[in-house]
Structure 1
Amino acid sequence: MKLFVGLGNPGKEYEWTRHNMGFIALDKFAELANGSFDHSDFKGLYGIIKNPLFPEPILILKPQTFMNLSGTSVRPLADFYKLTPSDIVVVYDDMAIEEGAIRLRLNGSSGGHKGMQNIIDMFSNDQFRRIRVGIGEPPSKDSVNFVLGKPKGDSYDALNFATDNAAKALRDIAMDDSNFSKIMSKYNSIKRKGND
């Protein structure tokens, strides 16, 4: 069993904000995989996807704790299903990556992302695979309003493109988990052309 986690903030006012790219990508993956978030427990919304294309069940989780406490949802669910960090893939927004691009990574630091840092802290381990959705740098030093803002126009299109690719990357990981390096090379090299 694998656990795919999308990070974001719960509530209507946060829907389609830059900080909710993890939720959006995971929703798109659930749609691709015919899954749903039909359980509410472990401080989150989660579901179990059993798809004939996947060799094992996939747990999907959207923590409902607010971003900075995401680990307090991920850890109890992982413990319940006896999962280790190597069984978990986390999807979240990243200002250090160009808007519209995604970057898959095997492990490492949180890069300053507080939701990811809380997960690392809760497990005392950074060996989580992750998919970072590039939201680009804020035009001013006001990063809080930037990440909690809703993209419009070309920015919306770029992030729609990125979350589509993140969902497809999750699908590819679900289909063949042993192929992460190849999947990483494929999606890390995708460039958005103009106003696609």
Structure 2
Amino acid sequence: MHMIVGLGNPGREYENTKHNTGFMTVDALAADMGADRWQQKMAALVASVSFRGETILLVKPQTYMNDSGRAVGPLMRWYKLAEPQVYIVYDDMDLPVGRLRIRKSGSDGGHNGIKSIFANGCTEFIRFRIGIGRPLPQWSVVDHVLAPFTPDVLPAFQEGVAAAVAAIKGCLELGVDKGMNRFNPKKKRE
């Protein structure tokens, strides 16, 4: 069993914001895998689907981003999952829009949702970070993450979500190490 968690904020006003990158990716994964029945469980919306004979839980915490761990920690313990069986999908300002980066460990990188997950007993989960770019000089970080993507960068973001869906499925099928080799962007040689 694996649990795929997309981070975001519940509510219509946040639906298409950059901070809801995780929700949008899990929704795309749910559509791809045929999951359409969501249930409220432990402060999250949860859908269960079978993928290659394995049960996969798709999770969207309903606690708001900065308190995501209050949903992730209890679900992980309830289902008796080891931390590497938990995949967390979230937005990252340090990556260009749509760029995917998969990591097995790391710091919270200043991301409050990840800080909350750390504080709730889960630190060795698999990270699927999708770039949302840096804010314009006149924008605050909060304004940036709570704004929708502009039309000029929306296609790159949508490509990033599609790449993340393929990478998550690839990691489930091949294992994380092989998945990282296949789906992480390759560094260009000079």
Q: CA deviation at 1:47?
A: 1.1
Q: Which runs of 5+ in 1 are unaligned?
A: 192-196
Residue 180 of structure 2 aligns with an amino acid whose one-letter code is M
The equivalent position to 2:141 in structure 1, one of 140, 143, 165, is: 143
- 1:71 aligns with 69
SS of 2:106's equivalent?
coil
Q: CA deviation at 1:24?
A: 0.5
Q: CA deviation at 1:186?
A: 2.4
1:134-158 superposed Cα distances (whole Å, 9 cap, x missing partner): 0011112511000000112121111
2:128 is the counterpart of 1:131: yes
Q: Percent identity?
A: 37
SS of 1:50's equivalent?
strand
Q: Do the aligned partners of residues 37 and 116 (structure 1) sit closer, same or farther apart at CA in structure 2, a change above 3 Å counting?
A: farther
Q: How does 1:44-193 map to 2 (within 5 A)?
A: 44-51=44-51, 54-123=52-121, 125-140=122-137, 142-176=140-174, 178=175, 180-189=176-185
2:19 is the counterpart of 1:23: no
Q: CA deviation at 1:185?
A: 2.5
Q: Do the aligned partners of residues 161 and 19 (structure 1) sit closer, same or farther apart at CA in structure 2, a change above 3 Å counting?
A: same
Most deviating of 37-46 and 94-103: 37-46
Distance 2:180 2:153 in 1: 24
Residue 172 of structure 2 aligns with an amino acid whose one-letter code is A
Q: CA deviation at 1:27?
A: 0.7
Q: Do the aligned partners of residues 155 and 37 (structure 1) sit closer, same or farther apart at CA in structure 2, a change above 3 Å counting?
A: farther
Most deviating of 162-171 and 62-71: 162-171
Distance 1:57 1:131 in 2: 20
TM-score when normalising by structure 2: 0.93
Query: Does the CA contact (< 8 Å) of 1:4 and 1:60 recur in 2?
Result: yes
Q: Which runs of 5+ in 2 are unaligned?
A: none
Distance 2:140 2:32 in 1: 35
Q: CA deviation at 1:42?
A: 0.6
Structure 1 runs, 4 residues or longer, greater than 4 Å off: none
Query: Does the CA contact (< 8 Å) of 2:171 and 2:178 recur in 1?
Result: no
Aligned length: 186
TM-score when normalising by structure 1: 0.90
Q: CA deviation at 1:173?
A: 2.0
Query: Does the CA contact (< 8 Å) of 1:7 and 1:91 recur in 2?
Result: yes
Distance 2:40 2:81 in 1: 19
